[in-house]
Amino acid sequence: MTRPTHITATGGEAFAQWVRRAVRRARHSHLETANLFGSSVEEPVELLRRTVEAGFAEPITSRYTSVFVSGNPFVMEQLSRAYDVGQDHILSTTGATGALSLLYRAYLAPGDHVLVESPGFDLFTDIARACHAQVDHFDRIGDGFEIGPGEIERRIQGNTRLIVLTNLHNPSGMLVDDATLRAVADVAARHGIKVIVDEVYGGYANPDARTHHAAQLSPHLVSVSSLTKIYGLSTLRCGWIVADPDVLAPVRALADQFEFGVSKLAHAVAALVLEDNETFDGYWHGVMAGARPVMQRHFDRWRRQGLVSGAMPDFGCIAFPRLAHIEDTQAFSDWLADHLGVIVVPGELFGAAGHVRIGFALPDDELDDALSRFSEGLEHYPSQSRTPSVSV
């Protein structure tokens, strides 16, 4: 199969292109597909059905109201409570991607400079380059994919406007603690820079480990999140930005002028979901309570056998192990799909060849089967396809 020719900032095909290619590949295969490329719990279809049915029976819920002026007021109320900030700190958006696009467009002019974490999601770099900005990367290092505030400061230029990172980290799932975020905020403050912290996976972390949202720690930190990863509700396209009102002002002005994509219907359902957060939290907690021990057991065995290195994240639904003696993980992922029907995300898509991202928010039996087939792939991948592994 011919690969797409579009090359992204990470040096390979775009993540979205790869996903579509992987799905098409699976559809044409005679093998039963094992999906380990997902990065959220599966959509809770039955919970969503009940929520919509209850909200849109007679009489239709009052949550079905205009979003034109300041977003859905019931969504805003719930977010205000969750973040413990006034509504002037919040802007609702069409998903987290819409939030990122607004922030970049509000704060970047052609020729400006952006610092983006590596390994990282290609969208952070690609949106910046679509704004004609220059992009450099700072490394997240070690088994914990840790951030070095000093390294960030050394990479700052006179025209640097934004620093972009994720918490929990995508692709590793690792947590950035509050002290590190504060240290990054201090660096940003010294240089008059804003730090965008994508927190779409943050809700998976225990509250005693992640005690604050980024925007609560410093006016130089901007939180972005959505309902997609934590609840599996990408269909609602409900995202938001939380920031100091002065920081948010140019973003809000841009949204008032150009943002017409927020759906009245979808955000009405989002309001109902946020108001019933205990039910939806119970859903993902239940999935992960079953899935995490299965993933941990397989991960520990791979390490004992010398098949992978690295660490399991403490929280979340994704892991990013380094594969032993397999440098071309794009070729490995293609082979794995073709021969065993298992789909994992190659590390090349995040700028980290030699790793794969494994999404494990699946029912126990399904996950155990998928990981067993992945194990078979690690053990039987043709030796001539292997190259010496290089640490990153």
168 cis-preceded (ω within 30 degrees of 0): yes
Is the same domain home to 292 and 365?
Answer: yes
Cβ atoms of 41 and 232 closer than 8 Å: yes
Buried b (16+ CB within 10 A) or exposed e, 163-176: bbbbbbbbbbbbbb
pLDDT digits (tens, 9 = 90+) for 70-79: 999 999 999 9
Cβ atoms of 280 and 226 closer than 8 Å: no
Nearest-angstrom CA–CA distance, 351 and 33: 26
pLDDT beyond 90 at 190: yes
CATH number at residue 377: 3.90.1150.10
pLDDT of residue 387: 52
pLDDT beyond 90 at 383: no
Is the same domain home to 38 and 183?
Answer: no
181, part of any domain:
yes
Nearest-angstrom CA–CA distance, 179 and 218: 11
Nearest-angstrom CA–CA distance, 133 and 70: 29
Parallel, antiparallel, or unpaired: how do β-strands 160-166 and 238-242 relate? unpaired
392, part of any domain:
no
Q: Is 39 helix (H, G, I), strand (E, B) or coil?
A: coil
224, part of any domain:
yes
Q: Residue 182: pLDDT band by 50, 70, 90 thresholds?
A: very high
Q: Averaged over 192-213, what is the pLDDT? A: 97
Cβ atoms of 389 and 322 closer than 8 Å: yes
Q: Residue 391: pLDDT band by 50, 70, 90 thresholds?
A: very low
Q: Averaged over 131-140, what is the pLDDT? A: 98
Domain closes at, from 251, 275, 299: 275
Nearest-angstrom CA–CA distance, 117 and 139: 6
Is the same domain home to 303 and 189?
Answer: no
The pair of three-digit structure tokens given for residue 217, joined into one six-digit string: 């720690």
Cβ atoms of 221 and 185 closer than 8 Å: yes
Nearest-angstrom CA–CA distance, 293 and 383: 31
Beta-sheet strands, E only, within the chain: 34-35, 90-94, 113-118, 134-139, 160-166, 194-198, 221-226, 238-242, 308-309, 318-319, 322-323, 342-343, 345-346, 356-359
Q: Residue 22: pLDDT band by 50, 70, 90 thresholds?
A: confident
54, part of any domain:
no
pLDDT of residue 6: 37
Q: Residue 115: pLDDT band by 50, 70, 90 thresholds?
A: very high
Neighbouring CB atoms inside 10 A of 33's CB total 17
Is the same domain home to 199 and 236?
Answer: yes
CATH number at residue 191: 3.40.640.10
pLDDT digits (tens, 9 = 90+) for 221-277: 999 999 999 999 999 999 999 999 999 999 999 999 988 889 999 999 999 999 999
Nearest-angstrom CA–CA distance, 276 and 294: 29
Q: Averaged over 98-121, what is the pLDDT? A: 98
Nearest-angstrom CA–CA distance, 384 and 8: 28
Q: Residue 390: pLDDT band by 50, 70, 90 thresholds?
A: very low
Is the same domain home to 199 and 123?
Answer: yes
Q: Residue 20: pLDDT band by 50, 70, 90 thresholds?
A: confident
Nearest-angstrom CA–CA distance, 83 and 116: 25
pLDDT beyond 70 at 388: no
Is the same domain home to 294 and 261?
Answer: no
Q: What is the DSSP letter of 5?
A: -
Domain closes at, from 234, 253, 275: 275
50, part of any domain:
no
- Give the structural domain span for 303: 15-44+280-385
30, part of any domain:
yes
pLDDT beyond 80 at 123: yes
38, part of any domain:
yes
For the chain, the average pLDDT equals: 93
Nearest Cα to Cα of residue 201 among 8, 48, 361: 361
Domain closes at, from 210, 245, 275: 275
pLDDT digits (tens, 9 = 90+) for 347-375: 999 999 999 999 999 999 999 999 999 99
Residue 328 backbone phi and psi in degrees, to 5: -90, 85
Is the same domain home to 202 and 337?
Answer: no
Is the same domain home to 203 and 262?
Answer: yes
Nearest-angstrom CA–CA distance, 233 and 237: 8
> How many structural domains comprise the chain?
2
1, part of any domain:
no
Q: Which amino acid, one-letter code, is at 234?
A: S
Is the same domain home to 101 and 131?
Answer: yes
Neighbouring CB atoms inside 10 A of 28's CB total 8
Residues forming beta bridges with residue 222, ordered by sequence position:
196
pLDDT of residue 118: 98
Rounded to two decimals, what is the model's pTM?
Answer: 0.93
